[in-house]
């Protein structure tokens, strides 16, 4: 006689989940590196914009469409864009730089309203593929205008001849006057007599350069300070040292 079949309630049945894996087993999830990177940047981008300041717009463009779309943005008031808006097209030497893998740092561009801004475009790669771009847009329009104004104030007129200027100290002026006076007289300072020394001091006083120069003139004439004061007393108006 054939053996009776077991009741269905006692049969061992294997259930499966929706993916076809056996239910009840612990399946280790594989981390999604792409989403991990994008999730980190979602939080970082607006904080970077706030840290740099209100003239800097930081944008995360997700590279899942052509052109990529904005996934996160900080200081979007600068360009008037928001999440979901399209990324601007970038051309290098007339070539469309889709899937750019090399960063472009600090190039100049213009916002839709015409203001100049400095841009750095940084590709984000995952397993060799460009998954996003981080753009750092710093408005420099006011700085450019200030630079132009400063250049007008600083730049000199173009000239054919070379012009140089040297600033003299009071000591240089006295030395020059004494040298010129001695040259005109054809005399050496050490050979001057008393009347010639007094005349030289009067010459310096009249030009308003003698005040505070007793020591220097005494050294040049190779006489003492006392002698200079004696000469000055014999000059009209008394000493000014």
Q: Establish how many alpha carbons lie within 13 A of residue 239's alpha carbon, considering only the half-sphere containing its beta carbon.
A: 13
Does 125 lie in the same domain as 43? yes
Does 139 lie in the same domain as 58? yes
Which of 145, 161, 178 lies at the terminal end of a domain, its last residue?
A: 145
On whether residue 156 sits in a domain, the answer given is no
Q: Which of 235, 233, 215, 216 is nearest to 178 (CA)?
A: 216
Secondary structure E strands in 10-103: 56-62, 69-74, 91-92, 95-96
Burial 200-217 (b: 16+ CB within 10 A, else e): bbbbbbeeebbeebbebb
Does 41 lie in the same domain as 131? yes
Does 113 lie in the same domain as 73? yes
70: which strand partners? Answer: 61
On whether residue 151 sits in a domain, the answer given is no
Does 128 lie in the same domain as 49? yes
Split into its structural domains, the chain has a count of 2
Rounded distance between C-alpha atoms, residue 116 and residue 112, angstroms? 10
Q: CB under 8 Å, gap of 24 or more: what pairs does 11-18 form?
A: none
Does 83 lie in the same domain as 45? yes
Q: Which of 107, 102, 104, 105 is nearest to 125 (CA)?
A: 102
Secondary structure E strands in 63-192: 69-74, 91-92, 95-96, 104-110, 116-126, 129-139
Burial 23-53 (b: 16+ CB within 10 A, else e): eeeeeeeeeeeeeeebeebeeebbebbeeee
pLDDT at 9 (0 to 100): 46
99-123 pLDDT, tens digit per residue, is 889 999 999 999 999 999 999 999 9
8-62 pLDDT, tens digit per residue, is 444 444 433 433 344 444 444 445 899 999 999 999 999 999 999 999 999 999 9
129-155 pLDDT, tens digit per residue, is 999 999 999 999 999 999 999 998 988
pLDDT at 99 (0 to 100): 80
On whether residue 160 sits in a domain, the answer given is no
**Which domain range does residue 221 map to?**
170-234
Does 206 lie in the same domain as 139? no
Whether the model pTM is above 0.85: no
């Amino acid at each position: 006689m054939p053996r009776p079949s077991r009741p269905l309630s006692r049969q061992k049945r294997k259930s499966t989940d929706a993916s076809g894996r056996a239910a009840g087993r612990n399946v280790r999830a594989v981390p999604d590196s792409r989403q991990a990177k994008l999730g980190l940047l979602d939080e970082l981008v607006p904080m970077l914009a706030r840290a740099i300041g209100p003239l800097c717009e930081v944008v995360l463009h997700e590279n899942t469409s052509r052109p990529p779309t904005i996934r996160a943005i900080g200081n979007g008031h600068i360009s008037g864009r928001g999440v979901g808006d399209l990324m601007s097209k970038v051309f290098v030497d007339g070539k469309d730089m889709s899937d750019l893998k090399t960063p472009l740092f600090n190039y100049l561009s213009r916002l839709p309203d015409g203001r100049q801004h400095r841009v750095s475009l940084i590709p984000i790669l995952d397993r060799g593929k460009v998954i996003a771009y981080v753009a750092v847009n710093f408005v420099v329009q006011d700085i450019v205008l200030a630079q132009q104004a400063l250049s007008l104030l600083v730049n000199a007129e173009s000239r054919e001849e070379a012009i140089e200027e040297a600033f003299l100290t009071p000591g240089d002026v006295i030395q020059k006057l004494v040298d010129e006076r001695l040259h005109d007289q054809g005399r050496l300072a050490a050979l001057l007599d008393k009347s010639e020394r007094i005349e030289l001091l009067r010459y310096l006083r009249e030009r308003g350069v003698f005040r505070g120069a007793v020591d220097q003139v005494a050294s040049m004439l190779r006489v003492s300070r006392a002698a200079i004061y004696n000469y000055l007393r014999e000059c009209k108006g008394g000493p000014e040292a």
